[in-house]
Amino acid sequence: MPSPRALSAAALAAIALTACEGSRTDPNLAASDQALAANHQIRTCGTETPSATELARVSREVDAALRTSNAELAAARTAGSVVVPVWFHVVNQGAGLANGDVPQSLIDAQLQVLNDAYAGRSGGAPTAFTFTLAGVTRTTNATWFGSCDVSSVESQMKTALHTGGAGTLNVYTCNPGGGLLGWATFPWNYASSPKMDGVVVLFSSLPGGGAAPYDEGDTGTHEVGHWLGLYHTFQGGCAGGDSVSDTNAERSAAYGCPTGRDTCNGKRYPGADPITNFMDYTDDVCMFQFTAGQASRADAQTATYRPAP
C-alpha cells in the first residue's frame, strides 16, 4: 500500500471507511470467482439470503394471502393492474455517463425493460405489475457513487433520497465495489427499515450503459424481482428451492448461457436448470422469463407487505 503521504484525503477516507465498516458482498459467490466478479465477467447480486427463520415466517404470512393451496398457478390480481411508481436516484461523481450521470434515455429504456419483462412480453408469464416513472433525482457525491456498497454510505444515501411508501420503488444507480451489479431489499424488510427499502444497481447495467454482457437492463429486472419478494432460482440448492413449484430445481447459480445445464438429477428433480429465468445469474441475453408461479408469489408477497405506494 502506498504511504499515507502519497494518498489524497479522499483516498485515505475511502480506505478507512472500507476497513472499518463492512461492504456488501454476494453471499452466493465462491472465493474462486472473486476475480471474475470484480471485472463484471459473471453476474453478482448482493441481496441477502433469507435465513431459515425468515423463510418460515414469510411462508406462513404469505401463504395466508394465497387464495388456495395451489394459488401459485394463477395470479390473484389481473396482469398489469398493480401500478408501481418508480423514483430513479442517479448518484454520480460528475457529468457524463462515464461518471455515472445516467441520461434520461437510459432511465426510459430501463423502465421499458421492466415493463416488458413483468408483462410477459419478453417471453415469460405476465405478472400483476406495471412500472411508471414518478421522478428522477440527480446527486453529485463521489463517496456515495463509489462506496454505495458500504453499509454506512448506503444508509446515508438512502436516508437522504428515499421517497414514498412501501409500494413505491426507489432505484439507486451508482458504482458499487466488489464487482456487484446490484442488490435489493425484500418486501418484509420494509416495516423495520423503511428508508433502506429499494433497489441499487450498477449505473452501467442500464440498457446501453456499457457493462456488457450485463447492460440490457436485466440486472434491474432481477433486483426488482427480489423487491417484489422472489428468491434466486438456486436458493438452497436441489433440496431447497425458491418457494415456487414451477421453477426447476437448481444446485447452484448458472453463469453465461449454459444451454442444457442440469445440476439436479433423478426423478425427484425433473427438467433442466432454469437458466432463462430472470432470477438466475445468467447473462442478460440469456434470461427472458418469469414463471406463472413466480408471478403469483410476487403478487402474494406484495399484497401482504406492500399494500400501497
Confidence of residue 64 (pLDDT cuts 50, 70, 90): low
Q: Which residue has the cell 387464495?
A: 67
Of the candidates 72, 154, 216, 223, the residue annotated as catalytic is 223
Q: What is the pLDDT of residues 139-182, one digit of tens each?
A: 999 999 999 999 999 999 999 999 999 999 999 999 999 899 99
Spatial separation of the C-alpha atoms in residues 308 and 82, rounded to whole Å: 10
Q: Is 54 a catalytic residue?
A: no
Q: What is the pLDDT of residues 216-238, one digit of tens each?
A: 999 999 999 999 999 999 999 99
Higher pLDDT, 238 or 11: 238
Cβ count near 213 (within 10 Å): 17
Instruction: State the helix-helix crossing angle for 218-227 and 104-118, rounded to 10 degrees.
Output: 60
- Contact status, residue 223 vs residue 47, Cβ threshold 8 Å: yes
DSSP letters, 145-200, are HH-TTBHHHHHHHHHHH--S-TTSEEEEEE--STT--EEE--GGGTTT-GGG-SEE
- Contact status, residue 158 vs residue 171, Cβ threshold 8 Å: no
Closest to 210 (Cα-Cα) out of 60, 133, 130, 102: 102
Predicted local confidence at residue 240, as pLDDT: 81
Spatial separation of the C-alpha atoms in residues 40 and 64, rounded to whole Å: 40
Spatial separation of the C-alpha atoms in residues 194 and 198, rounded to whole Å: 9
> What is the percent of the chain with per-residue pLDDT over 70, rounded to a whole number?
89
- Across all residues in the chain, what is the average pLDDT? 89
**pTM score of the predicted model:** 0.89
